[in-house]
Amino acid sequence: MPIAINHAGFCTPLGHEPQTILRALLSGDTAAMVRREELLFERPATVGAVSAPLPSLPASLTSFACRNNALLLKAVQPLQQAISAARRTYGAERIGVVLGTSTSGIAKGEQALAYRQQHGQFPDDYHYVQQELGSPALFLQQLLQLQGPAYTVSTACSSSAKVFASGRRLLLSGLCDMVIVGGVDSLSQLTLNGFDALESIDDDRCNPCSANRRGINIGEGAAVFTLERGNGDILLSGCGESSDAHHISAPHPQGRGAVAAMQAALTQAGLNAIDIDYVNLHGTATEKNDAMESIAMAAVFGRESIPFCSSTKPLTGHALGAAGAIEAAFCWLLLSRYNDGQLLPPHQWDGVVDEALVPLPLVQAGDSTRLQHLMSNSFAFGGSNASLIFSRGNLA
């Protein structure tokens, strides 16, 4: 049973309009990577920040008010008319919401605690639901007046990749006729300083696959999609999930969980490795992730048959719980009518090859190929891995 991705909405560091995002993606535009003074305790941080003005939440939903849910609202606004039509067609109880996040609105909690330290009480406009992990899905369900299943997945960096598998299951089980899936995360001190404590933050722009790589940059943003049974222009062909539980923060050095996730996605899609035209790498620019992912890619595709690939995190930062959805959005745009030249996003790095890594055919500016099946990888702490395959449907 094919699963169509008929609608998509975005709020990313590269912009929120499809043409704007695709133009920045294909040109390798890193202008969204900016220096921020207030996130790390001891020095500035390079982050991928959303610069677009964000909407205010409706008055009836102010208990959900935080930057995280404002990012989500910005992303879902272009979909609201289509979702309203689906609600009339299917019924509110037949439309589900599954979103991924890592820190939700914890920045709102940080602000509330700072206020409490100064004034002895929390601010009047603070509600715990603003930072609770389940907040994004509940907010979106109430905003869109839906009554179907609604929940949030939080599995670190694979959160909003795994929601595609969850949404697919809800559709194929017959519980829903449409599922809204996606992810959202916003910048916070908790996130930045936590990764800094792991010595994983690069003070400059991240440099995946380079011998000079020194770690990640954190980003923020949101992307939202509608899934429905049946054919469409762009299809969710396969979802692969695995949990190798090798280590709380380090990936399995041979990429066993990553390999399992990619192979499971291929099996579900009914494809062979040679059918994949491009892979959006997890590509965090940490020493261990890039080493593991290059080994895993060679294991799945064969050293001589690895398709074009690139990491887009030097353009957006690593949006953690939103990364899977944002990078799925990039794949959706690459497969869409907007990308009539079938161009690929160039891999932005310093070009200094790490001889210890399995060589990967990293995309250079202007590279293009037939785009029929794309893979996007998300590999998380604790070995919670997800791999997604997107395909051209009616466009093919």
Report H helices in the chain.
18-27, 67-76, 80-90, 106-119, 135-143, 159-172, 189-197, 256-269, 287-301, 313-316, 323-335
| Measured distance CA(290)–CA(313) in Å, rounded | 12
DSSP three-state, residue 48: strand
* Residue 182 to residue 167: CA distance in whole angstroms: 10
Are the C-beta atoms of 68 and 217 separated by less than 8 Å?
A: no
> How many other C-beta atoms lie within 10 A of the C-beta of residue 342?
15
Contact assessment for residue 107 and residue 186, using Cβ atoms and an 8 Å cutoff: yes
Neighbours of 381 (CB within 10 A): 17
Do the Cβ atoms of 216 and 195 come closer than 8 Å? Answer: yes
Q: Which amino acid is at 104?
A: S
Q: What is the pLDDT of residue 18?
A: 98
What residue ranges define each of the domains in the chain, with the CATH number in brackets?
A: 3-392 (3.40.47.10)
- Sheet containing 384-392, strands listed edge to edge, beginning at the edge strand earlier in sequence: 150-153, 95-100, 178-185, 221-229, 3-11, 234-243, 384-392, 373-379, 278-280, 308-310
pLDDT for the residue 383: 76
The Cα–Cα gap between 344 and 225 comes to 22
Tokens, residue 33 = 């990577």
Q: Are 112 and 126 in contact (CB under 8 A)?
A: yes
Tallying the residues shown for the chain, one arrives at 396
Q: Which residue is associated with the tokens 């019924």?
A: 91
Nearest of 62, 77, 63 to residue 11 by alpha carbon: 77
Report pLDDT for 249: 65
Please say whether the dihedral angle defined by the alpha carbons of residues 55, 220, 3 and 384, taken in this order, is positive or negative. negative
Nearest Cα residue to 314 out of 57, 25, 6, 78: 25
User: Which residues form the catalytic set?
Assistant: 157, 282, 318
Q: Is 207 within 8 Å of 287 (Cβ atoms)? A: no
Cα–Cα distance for residue pair 264/268, rounded to 1 Å: 6
pLDDT tens, position by position, for the chain (396 residues)? Answer: 889 999 999 999 999 999 999 999 999 999 999 999 999 998 999 999 999 999 999 999 999 999 999 999 999 999 999 999 999 999 999 999 999 999 999 999 999 999 999 999 999 999 999 999 999 999 999 999 999 999 999 999 999 999 999 999 999 999 999 999 999 999 999 999 999 999 999 999 999 999 999 999 999 999 999 999 999 999 999 999 998 877 766 777 788 999 999 999 999 999 999 999 999 999 999 999 999 999 999 999 999 999 999 999 999 999 999 999 999 999 999 999 999 999 999 999 999 999 999 999 999 999 999 999 999 999 987 779 999 999 999 755
Give the Cα-Cα-Cα angle 388, 21, 49 (nearest 5 degrees): 90
Q: What's the pTM?
A: 0.97
What pLDDT, on the 0 to 100 scale, is given for residue 271?
98
Confidence (pLDDT) at 395: 55
- Neighbouring C-beta atoms of residue 41, cutoff 10 Å: 9
